Amino acid sequence: MAQKKKNKRRRRQFQQKVILSVLLVIIIGLIGVLGYQMQKNEKKQMDGNASASSSVSSSSLAGDSSAPISDSSPEEEITPTPEPVQQISSDGLNSQHALLVRESDLAEMMNLGGDERIYPASMTKIMTALLTIENLPDLNETITVPEDIFEELTAQDASVAGFNPYEQPTVRDLLYGVLLPSGADACETLARAVGGSEEGFVAMMNQKAEELGLTNTHFENCTGLHNDNHYSTCRDIAVLMSECLKSDTFREIVTREVYTTEATASHPEGITLYDTMLHRFTSYEMSTTLENGAVIEGGKTGFTDEAGQCLVSFAEYGGEEYILVTAEAMTDSGSAVDSIADASTVYGRLQ
């Protein structure tokens, strides 16, 4: 009986061990399954994040049509459209060559052989004046007039301002002598003072022409006396005049009709100088204020037998300035009025 109880207890203990073992296996299995599931979910989440990141990156690269696009390229400069200009007729002019431009932007308004080669004659002297202003800033400085320039000038019948050998005028007075009466004596004096010699000065003239883009211009002297290799075009002269007009000193001189130089030992009362262009308007009883309201302000004449009558001038109309270059006016009369008549005609056509 005791043995039966003992066996029964052993069976119970055995069954309990079996149940515990089964439970342990089940628990371990569940833990394994849960671990695997968690690992799987974690991997899914990581893949999802990677996919989202890739999508965002692709979206950024491709651009979102609903979002504003940032353009990092530098802004292009917008060139303002030039104001349109009136086209002026060249009918009825005495000159064989003429070019009219608006001074502010050199917009072409009339072109009659304006790019063909001409002899500039004394229009050359605006370059002589420009280089002097740039290189001799003290207008009160006195310069001795060389004695040896006069024989050549007399031989060529060059126009002179009236300075004497060894006279000591100021730079200012010499500039007036260049631009008003077209004095070759004043030109030669300034050329030596600036360039050391006329040859040195002419080299500076050609260098300045190159700097200004005057590709159809070449100088051989500072006066404009005829030389076959001394040439320009109406367009180049217009560009040169535009550069000259940037100088207040140049403007002040070239718009003056009459000027008296300072007293010197040679000229105790000074020399009275008359502007050739403006004096012609007065002499021929022509007004520089035209019927349309245009005002001819100043200019530089020129003449040789080969060049004909020439003129570079500037006028104001309607708040704008205009530059006109005319050359080779060779009518039967050969009158000095031909070039200023052309200026009156052209500026009078402005509307």
Report pLDDT digits (tens) over 315-338.
Answer: 999 999 999 999 999 865 556 789
β-sheet bridge partners, residue 312: 300, 325
Is 8 one of the annotated active-site residues of the chain? no
**CA separation for the pair 203, 222 (Å, rounded):** 10
Helix orientation angle between 171-179 and 125-135, rounded to the nearest 10 degrees: 160
Is 197 one of the annotated active-site residues of the chain? no
For residue 266, give both structure tokens.
Answer: 């040679």
What pLDDT score was predicted for residue 67?
41
Q: Do residues 178 and 139 lie in contact, with contact meaning Cβ atoms separated by under 8 Å? A: no
Residue 117 located in a structural domain: yes
Residue numbers of the domain that contains 201: 95-347
What pLDDT score was predicted for residue 62?
39
Residue 35 located in a structural domain: no
Residue 15 located in a structural domain: no
Q: Residue 196: left if φ>0, alpha if ψ -120 to 50, beta else—which one? A: left
Query: Shortest CA distance to 340 belongs to which of 89, 94, 159?
Result: 94
Q: What stretch of H or E contains 18?
A: helix 2-62
Give the residue-averaged pLDDT of 340-348: 98
CATH number at residue 176: 3.40.710.10
Query: Which range has the worst mean pLDDT, 82-91, 152-161, 337-346?
Result: 82-91
User: What is the domain count for the chain?
Assistant: 1
Size of the chain, expressed as the number of residues it contains: 351
Catalytic member of 90, 95, 122, 242: 122
Catalytic member of 125, 300, 339, 344: 125
Query: Which range has the worst mean pLDDT, 50-64, 166-180, 199-213, 288-302?
Result: 50-64
Residue 88 located in a structural domain: no
What single string gives the DSSP state of each residue in 261-323? PPP-SS-TT--EEE-HHHHHHHHTT--SB-TTS-EEEEEEEEEETTTEEEEEEEEEETTEEEE
162 backbone dihedrals φ, ψ, rounded to 5°: 115, 15
Query: Which range has the worst mean pLDDT, 27-31, 129-133, 181-185, 192-196?
Result: 27-31
Residue 188 located in a structural domain: yes
Residues 6+ apart with CB under 8 A from 86: 109, 350, 351
Residue 13 located in a structural domain: no
Residue 215 located in a structural domain: yes
Residue type, 21: S
Residue 332 located in a structural domain: yes
Catalytic member of 182, 232, 242, 344: 182
Query: Shortest CA distance to 327 belongs to which of 158, 69, 135, 111?
Result: 111
pTM over 0.85: no
**CA separation for the pair 285, 293 (Å, rounded):** 17
Is 339 one of the annotated active-site residues of the chain? no
Exposure letters 2-21 (e unless 16+ CB within 10 A, then b): eeeeeeeeeeeeeeeeeeee
**CA separation for the pair 113, 83 (Å, rounded):** 24
Q: How confident is the model at residue 75 (pLDDT cuts 50, 70, 90)?
A: low
Give the residue-averaged pLDDT of 100-115: 98
Name residue, tokens 């420009």: 130
Report pLDDT digits (tens) over 194-219.
Answer: 999 999 999 999 999 999 999 999 99
> Does the pLDDT of residue 114 top 70, yes or no?
yes
Residue 67: DSSP 8-state: S
Report pLDDT digits (tens) over 249-275.
Answer: 999 999 999 999 999 999 999 999 999
